[in-house]
Amino acid sequence: MSRPRVFLGLGSNLGDREHALERALTLLGQRGFVLKRRSSLYLTEPVGGPPQDGYLNMVVEGESALSPEELLSACLDTERDLGRTREVRWGPRVIDIDLLLYGDERRATATLALPHPRLHQRQFVLVPLVEIAPEMRHPVLQLTARELGQSCADTSRVERYDPQPGERR
């Protein structure tokens, strides 16, 4: 039996952002997420929340034998292990991991919403998603990632992060 395509969105705007993203992928792999593809890193401006520094964001595609709830738990455990605290909604964070899509699953519980309810409203998610899966179809809206990106009203800055060798921002 084939496993569903799973997409995660990762972001960081505190400390060594690149290291936090890489460490998160390693920990997720140890917890049952099998990485298949990853987007480039994108430098993005914060959307919502208090004034804060810019983020590095990426989207990854993978698969897992974990249920959506178990995978969400693995994401939350990874955030906690990397020092994430939840004091201010949409505030600065060392790591943020969102379960964006789990195949065609649709869930709306107190702890899990699939597909992610703001996926189609956030260019910092759509730009990297389009890079790795432009024809992926949103299970509710029935639009491709490319179509979602083209119709998204979000005008926040999203630019490919391409530091020079040895340089980190």
77 is catalytic: no
Q: Residue 14 carries which side chain, given as an amino acid letter?
A: L
84 is catalytic: yes
- Selecting among 17, 38, 93, 122, the annotated active-site residue is 93
Of 103, 129, 101, 133, give the one whose Cα is nearest residue 117: 101
Burial 24-63 (b: 16+ CB within 10 A, else e): bbebbeebebeeeebbebbbbebeeeeeeebbbbbbbbbb
- Selecting among 5, 98, 137, 146, the annotated active-site residue is 98
- Selecting among 17, 38, 96, 122, the annotated active-site residue is 96
Angle at 61 between CA 103 and CA 136, to 5 degrees: 55
- Selecting among 17, 38, 84, 122, the annotated active-site residue is 84
Please provide residue 39's backbone torsions phi and psi, each rounded to the nearest 5 degrees: -80, 175
96 is catalytic: yes
Active site positions, annotated? 84, 93, 96, 98
